[in-house]
Amino acid sequence: MATPEHLKNLNAEYFQAVLAHIPADERQTALLYFGDTGNGVRPNYQIQTSAGTVTYLGSNHLKKGSPPTTYNPENLLGPYTVDAVEKRWFDVVAHGLSVDEEDFVDVFTELSASLNLGVMAMLAAQAHAPELGATLDALAHSIDANAEPSSLNKLESAYVTFANDVAKCLELKAPGMTVLATWKAKAGWTLKREALSALRRTILDGLDDWPDDKAAAGTNVIALRAERRGQGLYRLNMRKLWNNQCSVTGCAVKEVLVASHAKAWKDSNESEKVNQFNGLLLTGTLDKLFDAGLISFAEDGRLLRSSKLCRKDRETLGLTGDMRLRPNPKLKGRHLPYLKAHRQQHGFC
């Protein structure tokens, strides 16, 4: 009998639909086989009972073929008994593990720099769900109701991958979804309070504003929501990189600090948009000047002033010749390509 460990990436709502196909009088003898799961959350599967073998599509739990045909045994994991599947579901998926809020904070902070924007939007949607609970399918639909099934499956898979990364960082062998949330029959996946509090302190910090449904009408909703959360994540990472102080002046007044992109948001790919090295934390005036290309920074950190600014302008704005980026050992040169792109874009090279 194969080990249920192969089922660790699957989720409770999927198991529930699988088991619903098995008649009560067959539960003691039925055998289940699952397709190679990979990173997916809905593998195809096959159920063997005394009445014969039936194959199903994992994406919608409908029978495959008419009449149904069996899958290639080489592509199947199993057999599993119903008891083995239920043990995996109820002992691990339904009950989960307990993790301290501070441990979640550390992990979310570590993972935030490379977080997929779609996952960020799903996390925000789940945090706003009734009783903090929802199925993965419902979460994916809530941020892009018009998406193709393949796109929705990718969103769900990315969310599960993020959850598994959380578990890995915490050095837990349990399925990631059980670390972040608990499964409730009527609510779906319900975020644990510790996880929710940690998300609001890190990934979702300052992102409680939710797009107005009317304002979002006719737009790509996932793009709108992911963009807002991506910008917030960039601000969060930038503040941490520069210890909540201006990259030039050292000003620590949070209300006047702006996370300014070197490579513009609209011109950046998904990774660059949330990369804290793609920009600087600047006071409001310096941010406006940097964004407009009226100032830039040399490779050694010296502040460069555009010829468009006359001497009086420079004096009025307080742009002295000795201004430069403050030393920051966290940079390790990773900001240089972005500053170079900024200089090239605005004619400083």
| Residue 77 or 116, more confident | 77
Q: Kindly report the backbone phi and psi dihedral angles of residue 330, in degrees, each rounded to the nearest multiple of 5, phi listed first.
A: -75, -20
DSSP for 146-175, please give it.
T--HHHHHHHHHHHHHHHHHHHHHTT--S-
Query: 37-41, 193-197, 273-277: which has the minimum mean pLDDT?
Result: 37-41
Whether the CB-CB separation of 97 and 172 falls below 8 Å is answered with: yes
What is the arithmetic mean of pLDDT over 218-247?
69
What is the arithmetic mean of pLDDT over 14-36?
85
Burial class of residue 197 in the structure, from the number of CB atoms within 10 Å of its CB (0-12 exposed, 13-18 middle, 19+ buried) = middle
Q: Tens of pLDDT along 325-335?
A: 999 988 889 99
What pLDDT does 185 receive?
A: 62
N-terminal to C-terminal alpha carbon distance within the chain: 67
Half-sphere exposure of 251 (CA within 13 A, CB side): 17
Contacts of 258 (CB under 8 A, 6+ apart): 281, 282, 283, 284, 287
What pLDDT does 213 receive?
A: 41
Q: Could you give the percent of the chain with pLDDT greater than 90?
A: 30
| Residue 348 or 182, more confident | 348
What pLDDT does 8 receive?
A: 62
Q: Tens of pLDDT along 239-275?
A: 888 988 999 999 999 889 999 999 987 888 767 877 8
Inter-CA distances, 170 with 98, 103, 150, 165, 166, Å: 11, 8, 30, 9, 6
In residues, how long is the chain? 349
Q: Tens of pLDDT along 286-324?
A: 999 999 999 999 999 999 999 999 999 999 999 998 999
| Residue 200 or 64, more confident | 200
* Residue with tokens 């917030």, as numbered in its chain: 232
Residue 262 to residue 299: CA distance in whole angstroms: 13
What pLDDT does 209 receive?
A: 47
| Residue 120 or 98, more confident | 120
What pLDDT does 65 receive?
A: 66
DSSP for 285-338, please give it.
HHHHHHHTTSEEE-TTSBEEE-TTS-HHHHHHHT--TT-BPPP-TTTTTTTHHH
* Residue with tokens 């925000």, as numbered in its chain: 124
Q: Tens of pLDDT along 58-70?
A: 877 888 765 657 7
Contacts of 241 (CB under 8 A, 6+ apart): 276, 277, 281, 328, 330, 331
Residue 167 to residue 165: CA distance in whole angstroms: 5
Does position 220 have pLDDT exceeding 70, yes or no?
no
Give bridge partners of residue 68 from the DSSP assignment: 65
What is the arithmetic mean of pLDDT over 79-105?
75
What token pair was written down for 209? 């504003």
What pLDDT does 215 receive?
A: 37
Half-sphere exposure of 76 (CA within 13 A, CB side): 19
Is residue 6 helix, strand or coil?
A: helix
Please tell me which of 63-77, 199-213, 216-230, 244-258 the model is most confident about, judged by mean pLDDT: 244-258
pTM exceeding 0.75: no
Give bridge partners of residue 31 from the DSSP assignment: 48, 81
**Cα–Cα nearest to 123, from 140, 111, 107:** 140
What pLDDT does 218 receive?
A: 34
Give bridge partners of residue 134 from the DSSP assignment: 189
What is the arithmetic mean of pLDDT over 278-285?
95
3-state helix, strand, coil in the chain (%, to 5): 45, 15, 40
pLDDT range class, residue 149, cuts 50, 70, 90: confident
What pLDDT does 214 receive?
A: 35
Residue 94 to residue 15: CA distance in whole angstroms: 11
Residue 229 to residue 232: CA distance in whole angstroms: 5
Does position 171 have pLDDT exceeding 60, yes or no?
yes
